[in-house]
Structure 1
Amino acid sequence: MFSLLPRLTILQRAGVNLASIDGFLINRLHFPDVQWPMLRGVGIQPEYVIEMDETDAFQPQVLWITSNLHYSGHRRRWLCDWLREKFLVSPPPGKPSRRLYLSRADASRRRVANEDEVMDFLAPLGFEKVVIGRRQVFEQSALFAAAEIVVGSHGADFANILFCAPGTRIIDIIPAGRYAPWYWELSACMDLDYYYAITEWVAPPYTPGFGQGDTIMRLDRLSSILRRAGVS
């Protein structure tokens, strides 16, 4: 979403005619059912894609290489607007009203161990449990554009807050010792109202696999951060 696709607009801004490019070199697609629609969405057709790995070698006559935007230290609004233009086809009418809880139930790691308890707490407040899984990007963008509040355990699903309307409240539940500013940066870039709370690991620190295990979302902490966000 942020490291590969926006390189196309960098080329366009540099005056490169994309129609003159004979092929696009990319890493192997590990989730093709999700990634192919994204590539088509920015105008790259499968016949122009060359998947590569560490054993491949090429000798092109002309090779265009851009900088890596993902690790540049901050998000750029022009980049985010370009992604919204490509993937947010029809923003929902009216004021966003859905309250989303992002579940990692389909993941093999960093799940919320007490998720049933969490949903028992959130459901009376109007939250619905959603599993992003292999949903295509156009479905994901429409879902987040309709949200007034997004709550979930810190993970890649939060990249979709890019499609939220300004002022949407984002509550990022982050495991102890794993804080990263990515979604705070993205929220600041897109004028979202960002909050975070620290949660706990099921396994104690420094055990094998620490950092990828399941977590416990304490309801008192969740309740406190919801109050701070004005959620009732």
Structure 2
Amino acid sequence: MKNDKQIILFGTGSSAQATEALVNRVNLKVDGYTDNNQQLWGQYKNGKPIFSPSNLNIHHHIIIIASMYKKEIAEQLDKLGFIEHQSYLYPENFMFINNKYTYVKEEPIFPKPTNILENIDTQAITIYDNQEMLQYSKPIILDSKRYPNFIFPQQDHPNGEVSIQILKDAYTLGNSGIIFDNQVQMIRSLSTLSMVNMGIWDGRRWDETFFENLVPTPFLMKLNGNIAVTSTRWSGVNYYHWMFEELPRFYILKKSGIRINKFISNFRGYEFQKCSLEAINIKQDDIISSSDSYGFQTETLVVPYSPYYDSGYVSTWVCDFLRKTFLDKFTLKENKYKRIYITRGSARYRKIHNEEALIEILKKYDFKILDMGNFNIYEQANIFNSAEVIIGIHGAALSNVVFCKPQTKLVEIFNPLYMPTMYWGIASQVGVEYYCSIGKSLDTHFNETEIEILLSKDIEVDLEQIQKFLTEYL
């Protein structure tokens, strides 16, 4: 693809970070960045220069758009003489198939959806008649306030069977695994999306606006055989969403006994994805990466379905599956980590500003300071299973509470603007004592339509609350 041209990323934010990781997985390298923010020109990111778009040259550069403003940047590049899918590319069009990456650009266009159906009659295989979920335990809140998130159910408790749905000549599109029948009618009940809004998990589903906002227009590829869809929206980039939403889909597909030719997955080549697929004997050769930039028409589409997937609730069978898979008797061993604090040292956002003061207090109580980014899944499972007390700010690393022994104590630290409760739910399923500490938000500005702002805000932890836990509950 590259020849003697330099690869330039258009954008310098979090999307650029993820895109550079993708470029590295394709065995290429980024040579520089460009951005419309003049204040960044002349600076460096990851040791590479950031320069003005006016310096771009079609003869010397290949551009990969690494920004949420794809449509606007594409129009800007068109005016500079760059050609879509030739001299400027979209990261979503890099498809992982047959254990290698290829750029999709020459297939026919995905047909325009014709309707949205609530449900459809399909051939189905029941895996679980009804999902069990233990009642949430009473949380211990380390301040005197009452928070609605921990008082009222955030939405109706989902119920119903876990099953495999089989459709003929059906279509699928996007990282959420949106499902269409053979008339290109979207099947709402099988097309799920987890959304966070105002700190509350909301099981809303895709609607017509999704199709209006697709950029670029998605391509269509045709696949023969039994094609399974495991993709869920955020599982391509997030440990929690992969472990609790997508990986269980692989599990129930294997449990069904259906021979699957290919899995359409939000697989992005992260080590936790590779390790977990290997643990359940799924070969990377059988994976095709999903994307909002291309979809598939299938001979037989196999869809694992659970009403829990887009609700924020976690059922007991998912917890049992993860514990049996990763708490392996051959790898499980005692370690020295009994009291642990989980730092987000390697994360780019949602950090604790007064973490040094917090760590100073915790070390007096023999806490070990750990970054889960330094451990593989088996090691993380082992650490959490051996721990007696765990403290950490809300983040994907707390997914590992599923591996804890009963009566382990978990203290989850929150930004008051963002308080999703999935780890409280998981703790309840495995018998962990759940505590929460509400910190102080350092920036109260937010727009409910810009959910990433809520997700990323740093906080200042309330040290008095932590001291209360250490003196009253240890």
Give the TM-score, by structure 2 length.
0.45
Q: Is the 8 A contact 2:438 2:462 kept in 1?
A: no
Matches within 5 A, 1:212-223: 212-223=456-467
Residue of structure 1 equivalent to 2:278: 40
For residues 102-113 of structure 1, the aligned pairs below 5 Å read 102-113=342-353
Whether the 8 Å contact between 1:5 and 1:42 is mirrored in structure 2 is no
3-state SS of the aligned residue for 2:417? coil
Task: Write 1 or 2 for the structure with the bigger share of helix.
Answer: 1
Normalised by the size of structure 1, how large is the TM-score? Answer: 0.88
Distance in 2 (CA, whole Å) between partners of 1:207 and 1:54 is 27
Which residue identity does 2:245 align to in structure 1?
S
Deviations for 1:177-196, whole angstroms, at most 9, x for unmatched residues?
21222111111111110010
Using the TM superposition, give the Cα deviation of residue 224 of structure 1 relative to its aligned residue in structure 2, in angstroms: 1.5
Q: Give the aligned partner of residue 23 of structure 1.
A: 262
Higher Cα Rg, which structure? 2
| RMSD of Structure 2 on Structure 1 (CA) | 2.1
Structure that is richer in strand per residue: 2
Q: Is 1:152 matched up with 2:392?
A: yes
Report deviation, 1:132. 1.0
CA contact 1:102–1:151 (8 Å) conserved in 2: yes
**Pair 1:84 & 2:323 matched:** yes
Equivalent position SS for 1:58? strand
1:3 and 2:245 correspond: yes
Could you say what secondary structure the match of 2:301 adopts?
coil
Residue among 309, 313, 316 paired with 1:70: 309
Mapped to 1, the partners of 2:446 and 2:295 lie a distance apart of 41
The separation in 2 between residues aligned to 1:157 and 1:97, in whole angstroms, is 16
- Fraction of identical pairs, as percent: 26
Distance 1:9 1:187 in 2: 22
Q: Offset at 1:110?
A: 0.8
Instruction: Give yes or no for contact 1:22–1:48 (8 Å, CA) kept in 2.
Output: yes
Alpha-carbon spacing, 1:73–1:108, altered in 2? closer, same or farther (3 Å) = closer
In the aligned structure 1, how far is the partner of 2:267 from the partner of 2:251?
Answer: 22
Q: 1:16 to 1:73 in 2, by over 3 A?
A: same
Cα deviation code 1:199-228 (max 9, x no counterpart): 01223x116845522211121111123344
Q: Which amino acid aligns with 1:115?
A: E
Q: Superposition pairs for residues 63-212 of structure 1, below 5 Å?
A: 63-68=301-306, 69-72=308-311, 74-90=313-329, 91-93=332-334, 98-133=338-373, 135-203=375-443, 205-206=444-445, 209=453, 211-212=455-456
Shift in Å at residue 70 of structure 1?
3.3
- Using the alignment, how far apart are the partners of 2:251 and 2:397 within structure 1? 23
Q: Distance in 2 between matches of 1:57 and 1:197?
A: 43
CA distance in 1, matches of 2:429, 2:466: 25
Shift in Å, 1:28: 4.4
CA distance, structure 2, for counterparts of residue 143 and residue 103 of structure 1: 14
Q: For this pair of structures, how many residues does the alignment match?
A: 224
Greater relative contact order (CA < 8 Å, ≥ 6 in sequence): 1
| Residue aligned with 1:6, SS | helix
Q: Does 1:224 pair with 2:465? A: no
For 1:5, the aligned partner's letter is L
Structure 2 Cα separation of the partners of residues 217 and 73 of structure 1: 25
SS in 1 for 2:305: coil
SS in 2 for 1:65: strand
Gaps of 5+ in 2: 1-242, 448-452
